[in-house]
Amino acid sequence: MQNDLTPKQQASELIKQAHNIVIVTGREPSNDQLAAAIATQRALNKLQKQASIVITDALPKSAELFDTQFISTDIQGVRDFVISVAMHSVMVDKLKYNVEGDRLDVTITPLNGNFKASDVSFEQGPFKFDLVIALGVPQIIKLDKIVEKNPTIFDGLHLINIDYHRINEEYGSVNYIDQNSSSVCEMLVSLFESLEQGMVDESIATALYTGITTATHNFTTPDTTAKSMTVAAQMLAAGAKQQEIVKVLQSNNPPKATASPAPYSKPNPTTPNPKPPTAASATAKEPNTEAVAPDPSAATSIKEAIVQAQIAAEAESAAVKTAEPTAKTEAPAAEASEAQQNGSKKKI
């Protein structure tokens, strides 16, 4: 590859030469990253390329816009099936295979002696990918977790690093970095044009517009440029489903909350509230009536319950204080009445 090619031109050439491509994003991908992956896969398919998206984390909100059944949580692709035969004491004379229906027969003719079943082993060969595209990932350690779990999975492959972050570490064999772009999706528009004119159709335009509008927060961030607006307009002209995008992204569907207490309902006017006991009612005997259980459906706030308890306590305390002097005044009156009666008896 010529050194005088720009990063975008180098990326374009690698894509044209590749046949089986893996697309990865960062951990916990953003709407821009997911939309870019969807658009890239569809663009590569139009070029008759095999393209696989691998995302192991949960998908963002914009996933509701796309058919995500082609997104894998693990590396999948064509791999060689390697059959090994130990030849410690037996040499091979001929090797042939024959397909019988849905069965493959491999025949090994020994030169001397015979092979045993224990001489045969098999294993999976490397994946047949020939290119990796990383979208919107500034640091290699922030690539999808699949890379951490399989650190050598992309060894020997070209990696195209497409990003707009200023802190990008340029870890790819080709680093297509545009710090003046608002999003990865904005960058992909010109890359797709370099691959083939007229490639952007309605589905690709919808994905790219989704990435641009989410990355710029509806074109309100400082990163929004005249180019961002122009590219977005081009995507609308290409058939991007703006209203559908807006409907999905602005729909707030929070998880259902646990049932909240019913609002406090005012007491029924036909059922008066009980009055605090007075001094007279404290001393008088009340008829023995059965207590009525409160209506469980009538919710009462905690604050009101505290206030009612305070009122009842104050009323009870006032009743006790009022009853004590009454009892004390009744006792001397009784004694005076008895003394008067005794005096009358003496006079007779």
Give residue limits of the domains in the chain.
Answer: 7-79+126-249, 267-284+298-348
Helix (H) or strand (E) holding 283: helix 279-283
- Tokens 């009744």 belong to 330
Average the pLDDT over each of 72-76, 132-136, 225-229 and give the range with the smallest value.
Answer: 72-76
Mean pLDDT of 193-202: 94
pLDDT digits (tens, 9 = 90+) for 313-323: 677 666 656 65
Distance from C-alpha of 284 to C-alpha of 286, rounded to nearest angstrom: 6
- Tokens 């009323």 belong to 315
Residue 294 has pLDDT above 50, yes or no: no
Distance from C-alpha of 107 to C-alpha of 116, rounded to nearest angstrom: 13
- The fraction of the chain above a pLDDT of 70, given in percent, is 70
Strand partners, 124: 81
pLDDT digits (tens, 9 = 90+) for 72-117: 888 766 677 889 999 888 889 899 999 988 899 999 999 888 988 8
The DSSP output letter for 347 is: H
In this prediction the pTM is: 0.62
Residue 63 has pLDDT above 70, yes or no: yes
Q: What pLDDT, on the 0 to 100 scale, is given for residue 20?
A: 93
313 half-sphere exposure, CB direction, 13 A CA radius? 6
Q: What pLDDT, on the 0 to 100 scale, is given for residue 73?
A: 87
| CB-based contact 275:308 (threshold 8 Å) | no
User: Which residue would you say has higher pLDDT here, 122 or 341?
Assistant: 122
* Domain at 7-79+126-249: CATH architecture: Alpha-Beta Complex (3.90)
Residue type (1 letter), 144: D
Distances (CA, A) of 133 to 32, 52, 158, 160, 181: 15, 10, 9, 5, 18
| CB-based contact 60:215 (threshold 8 Å) | no
Residue 194 has pLDDT above 80, yes or no: yes
Tokens in use for 85?
A: 């035969």
The DSSP output letter for 47 is: T
Residue type (1 letter), 194: S
Tokens in use for 92?
A: 């091979």
**Mean pLDDT value across the chain:** 79
| CB-based contact 42:49 (threshold 8 Å) | no
Tokens in use for 4?
A: 């005088």
Non-local (6+) Cβ contacts of 153 within 8 A are 75, 127, 146, 147
* Helix-strand-coil split of the chain, %, nearest 5: 40, 20, 40
Mean pLDDT of 299-311: 46
Q: What pLDDT, on the 0 to 100 scale, is given for residue 169?
A: 95
Would you say how long the chain is, in residues?
348
Strand partners, 175: 161
What is the Cα gyration radius of the chain?
42
The DSSP output letter for 273 is: P
The DSSP output letter for 314 is: H
Tokens in use for 57?
A: 């984390």
Q: How confident is the model at residue 14 (pLDDT cuts 50, 70, 90)?
A: very high
Q: How confident is the model at residue 175 (pLDDT cuts 50, 70, 90)?
A: very high
Q: How confident is the model at residue 124 (pLDDT cuts 50, 70, 90)?
A: confident
The DSSP output letter for 144 is: -
